[in-house]
Amino acid sequence: MDRNIGPEDRVVRIVVAIGLAIVLYMKVLTGTAAIVTGAVAVYLLLSGLLARCLIYRPLGIDTSIQEQPYSTTDDRAFDGE
Protein backbone atom coordinates (compact mmCIF):
# COMPACT_ATOMS: atom_id res chain seq x y z
CA MET A 1 0.00 0.00 0.00
CA ASP A 2 1.38 3.40 -1.02
CA ARG A 3 1.76 6.30 1.37
CA ASN A 4 -1.19 8.66 1.23
CA ILE A 5 -0.54 10.97 4.19
CA GLY A 6 1.58 14.09 3.84
CA PRO A 7 3.96 15.52 6.44
CA GLU A 8 1.53 18.09 7.85
CA ASP A 9 -1.21 15.48 8.19
CA ARG A 10 1.22 13.10 9.91
CA VAL A 11 2.21 15.70 12.52
CA VAL A 12 -1.41 16.55 13.28
CA ARG A 13 -2.32 12.87 13.67
CA ILE A 14 0.57 12.17 16.03
CA VAL A 15 -0.10 15.28 18.15
CA VAL A 16 -3.83 14.43 18.43
CA ALA A 17 -2.96 10.82 19.35
CA ILE A 18 -0.65 12.02 22.11
CA GLY A 19 -3.35 14.41 23.35
CA LEU A 20 -5.91 11.61 23.48
CA ALA A 21 -3.41 9.38 25.30
CA ILE A 22 -2.93 12.12 27.91
CA VAL A 23 -6.71 12.38 28.36
CA LEU A 24 -6.86 8.63 28.91
CA TYR A 25 -3.90 8.67 31.29
CA MET A 26 -5.57 11.37 33.39
CA LYS A 27 -8.72 9.20 33.47
CA VAL A 28 -10.99 11.96 32.20
CA LEU A 29 -12.96 9.32 30.30
CA THR A 30 -14.06 5.94 31.59
CA GLY A 31 -15.85 2.89 30.28
CA THR A 32 -16.80 2.62 26.63
CA ALA A 33 -15.73 6.19 25.87
CA ALA A 34 -12.22 5.42 27.11
CA ILE A 35 -12.03 2.28 24.95
CA VAL A 36 -13.18 4.12 21.83
CA THR A 37 -10.82 7.02 22.52
CA GLY A 38 -7.95 4.59 23.02
CA ALA A 39 -8.71 2.84 19.73
CA VAL A 40 -8.83 6.18 17.89
CA ALA A 41 -5.55 7.26 19.50
CA VAL A 42 -3.82 4.03 18.48
CA TYR A 43 -5.14 4.31 14.91
CA LEU A 44 -4.05 7.94 14.58
CA LEU A 45 -0.61 7.18 15.98
CA LEU A 46 -0.04 4.19 13.69
CA SER A 47 -1.35 5.95 10.59
CA GLY A 48 0.80 8.98 11.40
CA LEU A 49 3.93 6.91 11.88
CA LEU A 50 3.37 4.72 8.82
CA ALA A 51 2.00 7.54 6.58
CA ARG A 52 -0.85 5.29 5.43
CA CYS A 53 -4.55 5.79 6.11
CA LEU A 54 -7.06 3.03 5.43
CA ILE A 55 -9.95 5.50 5.42
CA TYR A 56 -8.31 7.78 2.83
CA ARG A 57 -7.83 4.88 0.37
CA PRO A 58 -11.51 4.26 -0.62
CA LEU A 59 -12.25 7.99 -0.53
CA GLY A 60 -9.41 8.70 -2.96
CA ILE A 61 -7.73 11.23 -0.67
CA ASP A 62 -3.97 11.65 -0.91
CA THR A 63 -2.35 14.41 1.17
CA SER A 64 1.18 13.24 0.36
CA ILE A 65 1.11 14.93 -3.05
CA GLN A 66 2.84 18.27 -2.77
CA GLU A 67 2.31 21.18 -5.15
CA GLN A 68 5.25 22.01 -7.37
CA PRO A 69 6.90 25.35 -6.59
CA TYR A 70 6.32 28.18 -9.04
CA SER A 71 8.99 28.33 -11.68
CA THR A 72 10.37 31.71 -12.73
CA THR A 73 11.49 30.17 -16.03
CA ASP A 74 7.92 29.64 -17.15
CA ASP A 75 7.55 30.39 -20.88
CA ARG A 76 4.32 32.30 -20.33
CA ALA A 77 6.20 34.96 -18.35
CA PHE A 78 8.54 35.67 -21.28
CA ASP A 79 7.65 38.72 -23.39
CA GLY A 80 9.72 37.59 -26.36
CA GLU A 81 11.81 40.75 -26.33
- pLDDT at position 12, please? 96
- pLDDT at position 3, please? 86
Residue 54 domain-assigned? yes
Residue 18's closest CA among 51, 50, 42, 35?
A: 42
pTM metric for this prediction: 0.75
User: What's the total number of domains in the chain?
Assistant: 1
Domain that holds residue 11: 7-60
- pLDDT at position 44, please? 97
Residue 36 domain-assigned? yes
- pLDDT at position 34, please? 96
Give every residue of the chain whose pLDDT is below 70, as ranges. 1, 66-81
Assess contact for 40 and 23: CB atoms under 8 A.
no
Residue 16 domain-assigned? yes
